[in-house]
Amino acid sequence: MRILHTSDWHLGRTLHGVDLLEHQAAHLDHLVELTRTEGVDAVVVAGDVYDRAIPPVDAVALLSDALARLAEHAHVVVTPGNHDSAVRLGFGDRVMRPGVHLRARLADVGSPVVLPPRTGDAGAPLLVYALPYLDPDAARHALAETPEGEGEGDAAPRPLARSHEAVMGAAMRRVGADLARRRAADPGVRAVVSGHAFVVGGLASESERDIRVGGVDAVPAATFGGWGVDYVALGHLHGPQRVTVPHVERAGTVRGTVARYSGSPLAFSFSEQHQRKSTALVDLARLAADPDAAVELVPAPVPRRLADVTGTLDELLGAAGEPHVDDWLRVVVTDAVRPAELYARVRARFPHALQVTHRPPRPAEREVVTAVGPGRDPLDVARDFVEHVSGHAPSDAEVAVLREAFELALAEERSA
């Protein structure tokens, strides 16, 4: 069986104020055609379908149309990410057309979407364990477990630790138990897990939303190993990349697991300008023998390149700027004195310039402002700010207040 692994569509997103819906629609047209021509059995969408919990009406209409067209050629399995509202995305899961499977409920974790082989083909079904984004504050209660060594009648299930590692570990234990039972009855079944998380070893971009809880945002790759899963279709990180899953001995399993981020279909920040956006086309029958050959990265259409250009205004208006006239640009003008009508002259030359900055070669000494980025913990930024305005580092109690305020703000944003 063949699956098409995609994620992080972020329908309704803008790029520095530019509406991307037209380009997102073109990418969905590409996915429909790819599904049709490549004989795909299942399209797995690993979260962040929308860019925010309450998406614009046009984005909802676009998703509805895309799911209907994809379902004409393959099964479609969709889960929410940290940007989506699980309730809003999954509201119609029980009345959705045949072939479209929206898995948004924590209660369904460990229960797979069972996809039969193609009509006329012999063989075992494909099991897709579609995990919605597991927010630790909610999932630690929904996935609570009876402590090891205690019988079900001895104690009530206890909430899990408040971490991404704990809730994903609990979810994978449910997956492993269900898969072991089904594989005992039919050893030939293939299993795919779809998950939305920051897995240790993945490379982040600037455009992923922070999901730290308790100062930690990552899940160890070993969490997915040893359960007998063939492929882990990951979402959240926007750069396409493979994650190495170490071999873990669990209940005698010997099957290796391939895990990969499909990445976003479009670049959503200038940090992604050098990424080659793609969709992962996975041949499950070849995965165990040759994982590299079994996964084909199909290039995504590029509506417009992103680029940085730097130089004096005369240089940029001349030959140096010629290759970038049609690009989305971040422009840095280096004249010693700010040119007159800078913005208007740059936009006349580069109609798709998104950022225009004047940066003289010897800028005057100025106060350094620390910005939040993918490698910078927002809590550290808050610490620096407190030290800057007060003259001393915050106390442990003050750090605890800052952490709680930041996490409450993130939780309120996710539940909006």
pLDDT tens-digit readout, 59-98? 999 999 999 999 999 999 999 998 887 777 766 655 467 7
pTM: 0.83
Local confidence band at 409 (pLDDT 50, 70, 90 cut-offs): confident
Do 294 and 216 sit in the same domain of this protein? yes
pLDDT of residue 205: 79
Local confidence band at 416 (pLDDT 50, 70, 90 cut-offs): low
Q: Which of 17-26, 120-129, 306-315 has the lowest mean pLDDT?
A: 120-129
* 135 assigned to some structural domain: yes
Residue type, 339: P
Q: Closest Cα to residue 172, out of 225, 94, 121, 215? A: 225
What CA dihedral angle connects 81, 84, 87 and 91, to 10 degrees? -100
The average pLDDT across 257-284 equals 95
DSSP 77-100: EEE--SSS-HHHHTTTTTTSPTTE
Do 347 and 280 sit in the same domain of this protein? no
Do 112 and 215 sit in the same domain of this protein? yes
Helix (H, G, I), strand (E, B) or coil at 14: strand
The average pLDDT across 298-307 equals 95
Do 282 and 314 sit in the same domain of this protein? no
* 348 assigned to some structural domain: yes
* 368 assigned to some structural domain: no
* 364 assigned to some structural domain: no
Do 34 and 95 sit in the same domain of this protein? yes
Do 262 and 349 sit in the same domain of this protein? no
Q: Closest Cα to residue 9, out of 238, 210, 163? A: 238
Give the contacts of 138 (CB within 8 A, at least 6 positions apart). 106
pLDDT of residue 200: 84
Do 30 and 55 sit in the same domain of this protein? yes
Number of residues written out for the chain: 416
pLDDT of residue 106: 92
The average pLDDT across 330-334 equals 96
Do 119 and 268 sit in the same domain of this protein? yes
* 365 assigned to some structural domain: no
Show the domain range for 82. 2-147+157-299
* Cβ(45)–Cβ(6) below 8 Å: yes
Helix (H, G, I), strand (E, B) or coil at 109: coil
* 293 assigned to some structural domain: yes
Last residue of a domain, one of 268, 299, 330: 299
- CB neighbours of residue 288 within 10 Å: 13
* 354 assigned to some structural domain: yes
Do 64 and 176 sit in the same domain of this protein? yes
Instruction: Name the domain count of the chain.
Output: 3
Instruction: With a cut of 80, say whether residue 114 has pLDDT above it.
Output: yes
Percent of the chain whose predicted confidence (pLDDT) is above 90: 64
pLDDT of residue 322: 94
Last residue of a domain, one of 279, 299, 319: 299
pLDDT of residue 391: 66
* 373 assigned to some structural domain: no
Q: Which range, 91-105, 142-156, 210-224, is most confident?
A: 210-224
Residue 302 sits at the vertex; the CA angle it makes with 297 and 306, to the nearest 5 degrees, is 115
Last residue of a domain, one of 264, 284, 299: 299
Do 332 and 194 sit in the same domain of this protein? no
pLDDT of residue 411: 75
**CA dihedral (76, 81, 85, 87) positive or negative:** positive
Q: How many helices (H) and strands (E) does the chain have?
A: 10, 19
pLDDT tens-digit readout, 351-405? 999 999 999 886 545 555 555 555 567 888 888 888 876 667 889 888 889 888 8
Local confidence band at 259 (pLDDT 50, 70, 90 cut-offs): very high
Do 193 and 331 sit in the same domain of this protein? no
pLDDT of residue 120: 55
Residue 181 sits at the vertex; the CA angle it makes with 176 and 184, to the nearest 5 degrees, is 120
Could you give the CA distance from residue 80 to residue 132 in angstroms, rounded to a whole number? 5
Chain center to CA of 16: 20
* E strand or H helix that includes residue 219: strand 218-219
Do 268 and 326 sit in the same domain of this protein? no
pLDDT tens-digit readout, 155-214? 678 899 999 999 999 999 999 999 999 999 999 899 999 999 999 877 777 777 777 776
Local confidence band at 12 (pLDDT 50, 70, 90 cut-offs): very high
